[in-house]
Amino acid sequence: MAEAEDNVSIPELSSLLQLDPYLQPFEKDFKRRYGLFQKQLSLLEEAEGGFDQFTRSYWSFGAHRQPDNSLVFKEWAPAAEALFLTGEFNGWDKFAHPYQKKEFGKWELHIPPKEDNTPAVPHNSKLKVVVHTKEGERLYRISPWATYVNKVSTAVVYDWVLWDPPQPYVHKHPRPRKPRSLRIYESHVGIASPEGKVASYSNFTHNVLPRIKDLGYNCIQLMAIMEHAYYASFGYQVTSFFAASSRFGTPDELKELIDVAHSMGIVVLLDVVHSHASKNTEDGLNKFDGSDSCFFHSGPRGEHALWDSRLFNYSSWEVLRFLLSNLRWWMEEYRFDGFRFDGVTSMLYHHHGMGAGFSGDYSEYFGLQVDEDSLVYLMLANHILHSLYEDCITIAEDVSGMPTLCRPIKEGGCGFDYRLAMAIPDKWIQILKEFKDEDWNMGNIVHTLTNRRYGESCIAYAESHDQALVGDKTLAFWLMDKEMYTSMSTLMPMNPIIDRGIQLHKMIRLLTHGLGGEGYLNFMGNEFGHPEWLDFPRVGNNESYHYARRQFNLLDTDHLRYRQLYLFDRDMNRTEDKYGWLAAPPAYVTAKHEGDKVIIFERGNVIFIFNFHPVNSYSSYRVAVEAAGKYKIKLDSDEVQYGGHGRLDHNTEFFTESIPFNGRANSMQVYIPCRTAVVLANEEIDYCY
């Protein structure tokens, strides 16, 4: 094996090792991984004519109407003894339409058109695959390639429904180009309404997209789109991988949502779950052909003990076909612009991250604990997506800090564009739970926000859906708690709790936005300080929708302070859009003063100043800057329209002096009120980035 590794040549490995010399001892690991990746690509070329054809397998598997209106059904069920198709079209006859057995565990069925030349199975009719096992069992299954499934409200199990509309949706708008600065609005269609019900794709298109556009987000990350039988799983127990969830509407309504987002210049990412699958059998992938394996590892390796779900066998040719074609399907059929890959830590390691502390020691990321089948799958996925779609965006949800996850494959990396900066929200929650304001550690906050691998882009966020789930609560609720029920009106003076909460909510978000990464993410509703937490209808809460909604109505009441937080979030994004700090190199921090509770940094020729002190304001605080010139305020959290106290004069011009300070060539003196964040820009610099 060592000889084989020595023969592998990674085109730009030397660049990677130059970037991070501490990776040098693991050169053989990189070569082995790259060799396995190359081998899979070669096999695809030999056996399938390349990845382009292979990843379009959804053209042949599942159900397809031919030009002559005949229908072709195709499945992979290697352990099955026989396969039949039954449904409304044949009066649920279990034996009338047998599949023919082909090689490599494939099964095919051809059904000619009816006498009037219409398809034998019409659009919107129910179907089931009948699987006969070698043990003599008869099982009813949904095709793994089903593109639409639904269920009547009283049913427990989903039905496979043939989706073949006479006039399918036609996309009208081109995909926007990949944004240089990624500002993500993480969204869940079902909760995107103040009403206590499952909201629809159409509601999102008409009522939520305009808000997202107004707020200045240029990317939407859609959760819970892949069909999941259990609503309260938040979409993470997927049952039908090619089907858009029918509880929100039809496939065409989702296509319209994405099309309208594109018309607004907004890209749309799918939260894709390829790390595991639901254990459901009748309406899931589990035991599709009656065996314990099929799409998954058999035995303990095929089970996730914590998630109670099944784990894919990424070394299987047909599993690769299924998952890689699944990515291609969402890109082609729905015109998504990329993916946020869920549960990447679970995929990367045989221990799935359970019981692993991840101290940062490099030996934790190499060796026998790494699941190289999964790693190679992720390399293949990124290589194929970026080869076929120049502007495709891929984001990894990894808590382990695996090095090179976001470096190019030609260097030996995994090829993701971004990773989620998952330590940042945990830090904010910890601070709010455990520390008094006067004990906040500026150095520790800066360390958490800047502690990322050089050359690997991160998505920073103060809170996502994870922090809002039942058992926790939103940052706004941590800050203001029950006062939010009675004291959010602008018609009364702010009490100290609301005043503190409003100011810190803005400062936490701007500090995260400016310092924490190369992209920024916000979970829907949190931009305006959404109260309480998230909880889906389930037995434990009497199937209540009370916490499974977003109260956008709070924004439309002008005298409530939610509007002030909304306006700040909007102007924060718009200011970034103008000055482009997310696309700039990491910030240069010039001050993290513990006594003053001040953090100051420079990024993309923009100066960020934060005074977290509860009571101390500073009249002539010296601020280090590199570029000389005249600076003016471009964003001020203390503006009255944002719920601030209006203590800064925006006509003030700050002129630099050639007094070197804190490692910068120039400096200037600035007034910074307590609990205030300010962004200053140089009037003499062209910021077209």
Q: What percent of the chain has pLDDT over 70?
A: 99
Average pLDDT, the chain: 96
State if pTM tops 0.85: yes
Look at residue 432 in the predicted model and tell me its pLDDT: 95
Q: Which of 318, 342, 456, 602 is catalytic?
A: 342
Bridge partner residues of 669 (DSSP): 622
For residue 168, pLDDT beyond 70: yes
Q: What is the pLDDT of residue 2?
A: 53
Strand partners, 271: 340
pLDDT at 470: 61
Band of pLDDT at residue 206, cut at 50, 70 and 90? very high
| Dihedral of the alpha carbons of 251, 256, 261, 264, in degrees to the nearest 10 | 170
Predicted local distance difference test score (pLDDT) of residue 346:
97
Three-class HEC string of 458-524: EEECCCCHHHHEECECCHHHHHHCCHHHHCCECCCCCCHHHHHHHHHHHHHHHHHHHHCCCEEEEEC
CB 324 within 8 A of CB 381: yes
Lowest mean pLDDT among 154-158, 463-467, 639-643, 668-672: 463-467
Indicate whether 591 pLDDT > 90. Answer: yes
| pLDDT tens digits for range 339-380 | 999 999 999 999 999 988 888 899 999 999 999 999 999 999
Q: What is the pLDDT of residue 359?
A: 87
CA max distance for the chain = 90
- Please provide the DSSP assignment of 574-643 as one string: HHHHHH-GGGSPPPEEEEEETTTTEEEEEETTEEEEEE--SS--EEEEEEEESS-SEEEEEEETT-GGGT
Confidence (pLDDT) at 172 = 98
Q: 8-57 pLDDT, tens per residue?
A: 999 999 999 999 999 999 999 999 999 999 999 999 999 999 999 999 99
pLDDT band at 119 (very low <50, low <70, confident <90, very high): very high
Compute the Cα dihedral for 436, 439, 445, 446 and give only its sign: positive
| Mean pLDDT of the region 645-650 | 98
pLDDT interval class at 158 (50, 70, 90) = very high
Q: What is the pLDDT of residue 59?
A: 97
Confidence of residue 3 (pLDDT cuts 50, 70, 90): low
Q: What is the mean pLDDT of residues 86-113?
A: 97
Looking at residue 689, its pLDDT comes to 59
Mean pLDDT over 327-350 rounds to 98
Residue pLDDT, tens place only, 374-408: 999 999 999 999 999 999 999 999 999 999 999 99
The answer on pLDDT for 202 being more than 90 is yes
Mean pLDDT of 232-253: 96
Percent with pLDDT over 90 in the chain: 91
User: What's residue 348's pLDDT?
Assistant: 98
Whether 342 is catalytic:
yes
Greater pLDDT, 637 or 543: 637
Q: Which stretch of 5-14, 34-43, 301-310, 629-638 has the lowest confidence by average pLDDT?
A: 5-14
Q: What is the pLDDT of residue 644?
A: 98
Residue 443 is predicted with a pLDDT of 98
Confidence at residue 471, expressed as pLDDT on a 0 to 100 scale: 66
Whether residue 618 has pLDDT greater than 60: yes
Tell me how far apart the alpha carbons of residues 187 and 185 are, in angstroms, rounded to a whole number.
Answer: 6
Average pLDDT over residues 516-530: 96
When mean pLDDT is compared across 5-9, 94-98, 258-262, the lowest value belongs to 5-9
Q: Does the pLDDT value for residue 89 go beyond 70?
A: yes
> Tokens representing 297?
């590892």
Residue in 397, 398, 636, 638 annotated catalytic: 397
* Nearest alpha carbon to residue 121 among 161, 67, 94, 75: 161
Verify whether residue 397 is a known catalytic residue: yes
